[in-house]
Amino acid sequence: MKLAIAQTDIAFENYAENQNTAKAWIEKAAEAKADAIFFPEMSFTGFSMHVSQIAPYGADAVHAMRQLAKKQHIAIGFGYVAKVADGRGQNRYQVVLPSGEICLDYQKIHPFSYGKEDQYYEKGSRIAVGNLCGVPLSALICYDLRFPEVFRLAAQEASILLVPANWLAQRSSHWNTLLRARAIENQVYVLGINCVGRQNTLKFLGQSACYDPEGNCLVQCDQNASLSYVTIETPVSQFRSTFPTTEDARLSWYAAAYQQLEP
């Protein structure tokens, strides 16, 4: 399976410009015979807390990506914002298939409280798993990367874990370390899709990457906007049968232990 990584320089809160960029890159990925293309978190607006301003673009983004997926015969992963009744938003990531069907639609479980995201966006409550070219995949967004528990849960079903992000430059070393750790500890492929450039005062350095279940880096992007490709061939089951560490995970015991720790 050939996957395209769209490491974009997101024009902050400029939906039209980001849509035009996405359309051009989707066409390129389709010409390169990629099975899917994945964009960063909040793909067409950037990491904005102006929910009332950007949420109206959400429905249009979903419609546009479904139409492009069908036209270009390629699966597309993209981030968007949906608004909820209390005025807060939902930071979501959706993957649509070449048929236009929705493969998965995930709401970020851990809003970035240090950046006050939790004041503007609801916490998600479930893992989302879909099927792409016969391979189960899941998506977890940006700050979720710091919480291994959700990755352990997603890896019970998914062989590829997507991590779309707007990951800040000053913590780029954490980005690469955690992506690799999540791949190794869960014996899955982990694909991190970051952005580059500036959004107001925030700076992003890209470094999108894909790690295999043994922690080998299959592709590493630099600090520039780029469309890169990675081919995933070896099934996760082959890695796990050779060195079956995930079989020893005690998920029910972990859950019980957490409950005992609660005040």
**Number of other residues whose CB lies within 10 A of the CB of residue 186:** 25
As a whole number of angstroms, the distance between CA 249 and CA 39 comes to: 32
- What is the overall mean pLDDT for the chain? 96
Q: What is the CATH number of the domain that holds 11?
A: 3.60.110.10
Which domain covers residue 26, as residue numbers?
Answer: 2-261
Q: What is the enclosing helix (H) or strand (E) of 60? A: helix 57-72
Question: How many domains does one find in the chain?
Answer: 1
Instruction: Write the pLDDT tens digit of every residue in 45-91.
Output: 999 999 999 999 999 999 999 999 999 999 999 999 998 878 899 99
Residue 154 · residue 1 · CB < 8 Å: no
Please spell the DSSP secondary structure of 213-233, one letter per residue.
TT--EEEE--SS-EEEEEE--
pLDDT of residue 4: 98
Q: How far apart are CA 170 and CA 153, in angstroms?
A: 29
pTM of the model: 0.96
For 143, the token pair is: 């700050």
% of the chain with per-residue pLDDT over 90: 92
Instruction: Tell me what percent of the residues of the chain surpass a pLDDT of 70.
Output: 99
Instruction: Give the Cα separation of 134 and 142 in Å (integer).
Output: 25
Tens digit of each residue's pLDDT (9 = 90 or more) over 142-156? 999 999 999 999 999
Judged against a pLDDT cut of 90, whether residue 261 lies above it is answered with no
pLDDT at 134 over 80: yes
Helix (H, G, I), strand (E, B) or coil at 205: strand
